Each structure stands twice: as structure tokens, then as C-alpha cells.
Chains A and B, each alone.
Chain A
Amino acid sequence: NAGVTQTPKFQVLKTGQSMTLQCAQDMNHNSMYWYRQDPGMGLRLIYYSASEGTTDKGEVPNGYNVSRLNKREFSLRLESAAPSQTSVYFCASRETGIDTGELFFGEGSRLTVL
């Protein structure tokens, strides 16, 4: 069972470089999310996609863009990386229309911006 798959797992960037984090889920979920995790800050929502073709800003969207490529895939792009974007990024998916729908998480992508 693959669940939610994120790539890459590790990445080091220099300030100003760009990169895309990829996420794919095989559970046929409608909703997908990108969170970042920083020490003492918990998980903060960057962007989410309630369904294919829609995306919305979360709590900390500045410096990021997203693309919901199809129902399975939701990518996160850093156009010009900054040291403040050093973090662990988690993709998650969830079935909507179900009151108790839980989030299923990928294993994370650890990004360091020098």
C-alpha cells in the first residue's frame, strides 16, 4: 500500500534556487494538502486543494505555489528559495464528504536552504 508518496525525501538548495516537491496519492481522495513542520510550531497549512481543479491558500502561503495536476497529484513549488523555507514538508490527502475523514500523510520532504 503506497498511500501518499512524496519526492524528493531530502533536498539542499541555495538561496534563490527553485524546486518542486511532488506528491501523489493512490487512495482516490478528493482533497490534498501541503503542510510545513518547524520545531515548536507544529504543522502549518501552506496550500490545499479541496478537489481536482481547485486550490486555496492556507496559513502560510507566501513564497509558494501549487498545482493540482490531476486527482492523484499535488505539487508544491518554491520559485526563489529562502533560508526561512528550511523545513520539513508534508503532503496529506483526505476523503471529503465524510464527516470523520482523517488525513493520511506522506513521510515528508526535508528541505534545507543555504
Chain B
Amino acid sequence: AQSVTQLGSHVSVSEGALVLLRCNYSSSVPPYLFWYVQYPNQGLQLLLKYTSAATLVKGINGFEAEFKKSETSFHLTKPSAHMSDAAEYFCAVGTGANSKLTFGKGITLSVRP
């Protein structure tokens, strides 16, 4: 079985501040990990994915995430928040080529001017 925990439902940062969105996973086998972003009234789109090639993964819009096996974590970061980053962010885990993805409950990011 696999699961994802995203602590908290809402994060608020000032424009230009560091963004840190936490994700912890549970998996009995090596996982594949994803971060998706959802802008208001839209579907989800992929930010980045971890596929075991490198532990530090860079995605679109300046986001990156680091896979830490010892901490079972895959936290999402961005050095400097922009107003356009305001959205809902979902972490997801899969365990194989044909496995279903399990999503976390999502975190809403607000960016203050």
C-alpha cells in the first residue's frame, strides 16, 4: 500500500519569500513521486517528478524538490515566490510502471504582495 501526507491545508508567504510545501510518503517499494499544480478552475498539471535518476529534481516555474529516502519526504521548494504561484499543490506517489497514483489532500498556496 502507498500513501501521501501533506501536512496543513494552507500556506501563505510574501512575494519574494521562500516557498516550502511538505510531502511525506509511505511505500513498501521504491516510489515514483510527483508534484502537480492546480490553478483555479483548471485541471492538474505536472510540476516535476522523481524517477530515481537524481534526488534533486528541477521542475517548471523555478520549483524543485528533493527526494530523501531516510525521511520518506519529497518537499517542494521555490527560492522566491511570485504572485502567479498562488494555486493548489498536490503530491502524488506511484510504485511502478502500471501502478495507480495516490494523491495527497493538497495544499493551497497564497502569495501576499
Contacts and interface: CB of A to CB of B under 8 A. Distances in A.
A97 B105 CA distance: 27
A13 B98 CA distance: 35
Contacts, number: 57
Contacts of B44: 43, 90, 92, 103, 105
Interface stretch (B14-22, B45-53, B78-86): B45-53
Interface size class of B (residues with CB under 8 A): 20 to 34
A43 B104 CA distance: 7
B51 A99 contact: yes
A48 interface: yes
A45 B100 contact: yes
Q: Is the interface of B mostly helix, strand, loop or mixed?
A: loop
Interface string A20-44: 0000000000010101000011111
Interface string B86-113: 0000101000111011011110000000
Contacts of A44: 103
Nearest to A56: B100
B44 to A, nearest CB: 5
Nearest to A43: B103
B49 A100 contact: yes
Interface of A: 4, 31, 33, 35, 40-45, 48, 50, 58, 90, 92, 96-103, 105-108
